[in-house]
Structure 1
Amino acid sequence: MFKKLMATVGIGGAKVDTILLTHSLIPGGLLEAEIHIDAGDVEQHINGLDLALCTQMKVETDDDAQWQTHILQRWRVCEERTLSAGEQLIVPLSEPIHAETPVTELPLAHHQTRVWLTTGLDISLALDASDTDSLKVAPNPAMIACMQAMDTLGYDLFKADVEHGYLRGQQFQSQSGCYQELEYRPNQRSWLGVKEVELSFIAEEEYTHALVEIDRAFRGDGYHTLTLPQDVSAEAVQQQLQALLS
């Protein structure tokens, strides 16, 4: 009885640990992991095991902006079962992550993009039965081509964050409820030229869509869309972007 009581307050109870087998991903890429469950000192009934792919998004209000956790994707990886005292269970996972997962691996010292996995055991009265693991998400080839083109055109990546909302273009519409913005600024300022360029991407299996927001001095914002094959060259993207920015 004493051990059961201690388990309900997180002492000697079930523990969960997610071991990432895929250390670097791209949006839509395959995530492989193992979820290790240790029953602890007493028999415990688990109502289920859930894994969630999360990011931090900025939500604008009339007064200010707030950061909120946003669940991009959720998996039920283990159903209801009873674990014997001392039992260890390993649950494999092999699933593609959401195609709109924000990119974390960027040539930027400090940016506001975070992506992580949260693993939780649904155990009645358990207080300490969760695990959190950061994910490294790299840009896909089309995104890399865009970023290289912007660099060649003389624009520096200044900021990256994730915002609440949806993107819509002629050939695409986002679904996740948030989108990432990469904010570029020209490395040579002009009073009459482009002040800022914001890029947002929606990845699909064969194409990546880009929403390009251009802020020009005295002319306000202009919006354009590009649909790029995954094997597009940086030179081809540079020509398209140069036409929009000129």
Structure 2
Amino acid sequence: MSMFQKLKASVGIGSAKVDTVLQNAEWLQGGLINGSIHVVGGKIDQQIDAISLKLCTEVKVETDEGVSYERFVLSELQVLDPFTIGADESRKMPFEFQLHEETPVTILNARNNRSYVWLETALDIDFALDPKDRDPLQIGPLPVVEKVLDLIERSGFKMVKADVERGHLQGEGFSSQSGCYQEIEFKNNGLLTSKEIELSFILEEGQVHCLAEIDRKFGMRGDQYHSFSLEHGASDEEIAAVVQSILD
């Protein structure tokens, strides 16, 4: 192998590359992600110190200077120990991991949806230019969550916005842990009963927790917070009861 080829690989030219292939295009909250990582060697043998998978989202950050959006890592998994990839060698390695319980839902009927989730696969390799692969993930709501959202919309509210905020939330008997949380915002257009509802969901061992912030534009009660929990297999009657408690 020529010195020129080694020099080019040392600055990322002709270096090893990584590509992640996911088994599905869509996943449910809390689902098991699986797929395979494909690594293709470059022009020379190279040491791969590690391959890592990072589950990422975009969070809204508000400061005195204004609003910005930043990458946020929800969870990380190291897939392999160090190994050497030969010149032009191809390797395919299967993987699976559980979605973080606070992974935002991205498949939403919101007019302004800023909820994004993606998987980053990174090679830990000396001097490579950008040895990463980024794969968007489409995350759908669990059936029980979908029923909550649908009932609110059928009650005259429109889903107007969804985003992910930096910080923590606290409900009755539960709290967020990741350092960020999703807000799904609804509005109605009543002349004298204008109301905004913001929902945040957290999964935990077969349950779905929800914190609702209710903002009445007219009236004396102002902002209120209401939290509830439902089993994944909750009945339609149980779901209707908690939704009604938000709407009242």
TM-score (ref. length: structure 1)? 0.94
- Residue 161 of structure 2: aligned partner: 159
Deviations 1:72-97 (A, max 9, x none): 01010112121221221112111111
Return the letter of the residue paired with 1:130: K
Alignment of 1:29-178 (within 5 A): 29-178=31-180
- Residues matched between the structures, number: 244
Contact 2:38–2:92, Cα closer than 8 Å, also in 1: yes
- Secondary structure of 1:212's counterpart equals strand
- Please identify, of 220-229 and 58-67, the stretch whose mean Cα deviation from structure 2 is larger: 58-67
Q: Which moved more, 1:42-51 or 1:83-92?
A: 83-92
Q: Equivalents in 1 of 2:64, 2:113: separation in Å?
A: 24
Letter matched to residue 190 of structure 1: L
CA apart distance, 1:240:
2.4
Runs ≥4 in structure 1, deviation > 6 angstroms?
none
Give unmatched runs, 5+ long, in structure 1.
Answer: none
Q: Which moved more, 1:107-116 or 1:205-214?
A: 107-116
- Cα deviation per residue 1:39-81 (whole Å; 9 max; x = unaligned)? 1111101111111000000011133121110000101011212
CA–CA separation in structure 1 for the residues paired with 2:214 and 2:110: 21
Q: 1:63 to 1:233 in 2, by over 3 A?
A: farther
RMSD: 1.4
The amino acid that maps onto 1:196 is E
CA deviation after TM superposition for structure 1 residue 239, in Å: 2.8
CA distance in 1, matches of 2:153, 2:26: 24
TM superposition shift of 1:102? 0.2
Q: Which moved more, 1:62-71 or 1:113-122?
A: 62-71
1:195 CA drift (Å): 2.0
Map of 1:205 onto structure 2: 205
Higher normalized strand content (fraction of residues): 2
Between the aligned partners of 1:239 and 1:49, the Cα distance in structure 2 is 47
Q: Take 1:107 and 1:160, find their aligned partners in 2: how far apart are those partners?
A: 9
Q: Against the structure 1 CA distance between its residues 109 and 212, is the aligned structure 2 distance closer, same or farther, given a 3 Å change threshold?
A: closer
Instruction: Tell me the CA shift for residue 130 of structure 1.
Output: 0.9
2:233 equivalent in structure 1: 231
2:119 alignment partner, SS class: strand
Q: Identify which range, 236-245 or 113-122, moves more after superposition.
A: 236-245
**More displaced stretch, 59-68 vs 44-53:** 59-68
Distance (Å, rounded) in 2 between the aligned partners of 1:173 and 1:200: 11
Mapped partners of 1:146, 1:239: distance in 2 = 10
**Structure-2 residue corresponding to 1:189:** 190
Q: 2:23 aligns with which of 9, 21, 43?
A: 21
Q: Normalized against structure 2, the TM-score is what?
A: 0.93
Partners of 1:231 and 1:152 lie apart in 2 by: 21
Please tell me the residue identity of whatever aligns with 2:57.
Answer: T
SS of 2:6's equivalent in the other structure is helix
CA distance in 2 between partners of 1:45 and 1:244 (Å): 56
What SS does the aligned partner of 1:242 have? helix
Q: 1:194·1:214 contact (CA, 8 Å) conserved in 2?
A: no
